């Protein structure tokens, strides 16, 4: 029986275990979306969890902005005013 890999069943848009993903620039993540639970967690997974925590508490101001792994890796602090990129500017 073939063992199912983590990334084959992960519901997160950005999965830490996906070997085929070019996620640093191409895959985007919005606050409120699923976070990969692969362990040990990376810095960008922890930042995603912090952003989701602020969102659940209704403390995150910029709900409509998106993040890439590259952006999440650079982020050191997560605050109420933390802002990603505007999705309308990608056009």
Q: Is the pTM of this model over 0.85?
A: no
Residue-wise pLDDT for 61-78, tens only, equals 888 899 888 889 888 878
Please give the C-alpha separations between residue 31 and each of 1, 4, 20, 35, 66, in angstroms, as whole numbers. Answer: 37, 27, 23, 9, 7
The answer to whether the beta carbons of residues 38 and 18 sit under 8 Å apart is no
The two tokens of residue 44 are: 């960008």
The two tokens of residue 40 are: 């040990």
Q: Is 9 exposed, middle or buried (0-12, 13-18, 19+ CB in 10 A)?
A: exposed
Count: domains in the chain: 1
Residue 91 lies inside a defined structural domain of this protein: no
Residue 7's pLDDT is: 66
Residue 18 lies inside a defined structural domain of this protein: yes
27: containing domain? 1-86
């Amino acid at each position: 029986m073939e063992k199912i890999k983590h990334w084959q069943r992960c519901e997160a848009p950005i999965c830490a275990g996906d070997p085929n993903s070019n996620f640093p620039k191409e895959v985007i993540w919005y606050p409120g979306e699923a976070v990969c639970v692969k362990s040990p967690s990376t810095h960008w997974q922890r930042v995603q969890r912090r952003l989701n925590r602020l969102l659940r508490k209704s403390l995150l101001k910029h709900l409509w902005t998106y993040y890439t792994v590259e952006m999440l890796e650079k982020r050191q602090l997560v605050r109420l005013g933390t802002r990603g990129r505007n999705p309308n500017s990608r056009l």
